[in-house]
């Protein structure tokens, strides 16, 4: 697919961009693994699947991107699942979330292999979302990194402690860290 990036950049540049806040220029698409910044990903998510479908279907080559596009759709569904305004039935929501997450990971391993997941910490963080939702409610304005950050902070406190006994003396500062922001 990398050999097609220049043509893909032209297709993306000529496609309809109405209603989008950001857009990627051809250079960013050509250097996609190195040059994106956070604000570019919204534009990429909005335009890239349509561009891939039109580009590869016009050449009769939908096979190489079929699983990638399916994974894209499942990831979009997962993103919608993560950020609802309210969740009435947490167990049903959690089952749906788990199903979509597992399906996305399965497709990821089919496309790029299991080894490529090992260093993707954000994929790991997503698995903590249901427990965070159960504890704090829908993740509007909440960080899904709380357990990981809390663990790092706790290890730092213990390492620098002069006390041999680590008991309730950590309860108050850790409770402050673990409380959701309003």
Under 8 Å CB-to-CB from 79, ≥6 apart: which residues?
none
* 126 located within any domain: no
* 138 located within any domain: no
* 56 located within any domain: yes
The pLDDT score that the predictor gives to residue 42 is 56
pLDDT in tens, 17-65: 554 444 555 555 555 555 555 555 555 655 666 666 776 777 776 766 6
Total domains present in the chain: 1
* 165 located within any domain: no
Domain encompassing residue 36: 1-61
Q: Which of 121, 143, 124, 123 is nearest to 133 (CA)?
A: 143
CB 70 within 8 A of CB 52: no
The pLDDT score that the predictor gives to residue 6 is 59
Residue 96 in this model has a pLDDT that exceeds 80: yes
pLDDT in tens, 104-149: 888 888 877 878 777 777 777 788 888 888 887 777 645 544 555 6
Tokens read off for 112: 């790029």
Radius of gyration for the alpha carbons in the chain, expressed in angstroms and rounded: 21
* 161 located within any domain: no
- Whole-angstrom CA distances from 55 to 6, 11, 51 are 11, 7, 6
Residue 16 in this model has a pLDDT that exceeds 80: no
Element (H, E) at 172: helix 171-178
* 25 located within any domain: yes
pLDDT in tens, 159-178: 665 555 545 555 545 455 44
The pLDDT score that the predictor gives to residue 20 is 47
The pLDDT score that the predictor gives to residue 156 is 67
CA angle, 102 then 122 then 81, to 5°: 50
The pLDDT score that the predictor gives to residue 181 is 47
* 19 located within any domain: yes
């Amino acid at each position: 697919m990398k050999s097609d990036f220049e043509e893909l950049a032209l297709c993306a540049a000529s496609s309809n961009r109405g209603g989008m806040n950001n857009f990627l220029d051809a250079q960013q698409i050509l250097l996609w693994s190195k040059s994106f910044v956070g604000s570019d990903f919204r534009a990429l998510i909005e335009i890239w699947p349509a561009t891939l479908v039109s580009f590869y279907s016009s050449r009769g080559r939908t096979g190489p991107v079929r699983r990638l596009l399916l994974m894209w759709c499942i990831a979009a569904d997962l993103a919608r699942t993560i950020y609802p305004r309210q969740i009435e039935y947490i167990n049903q929501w959690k089952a749906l979330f788990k199903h979509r997450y597992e399906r996305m990971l399965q497709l990821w391993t089919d496309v790029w292999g299991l080894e490529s997941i090992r260093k993707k910490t954000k994929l790991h963080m997503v698995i903590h979302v249901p427990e965070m939702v159960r504890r704090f409610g829908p993740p509007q304005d909440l960080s899904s990194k709380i357990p990981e950050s809390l663990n790092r902070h706790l290890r730092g406190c213990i390492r620098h402690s002069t006390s041999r006994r680590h008991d309730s003396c950590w309860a108050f500062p850790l409770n402050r860290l673990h409380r959701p922001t309003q």
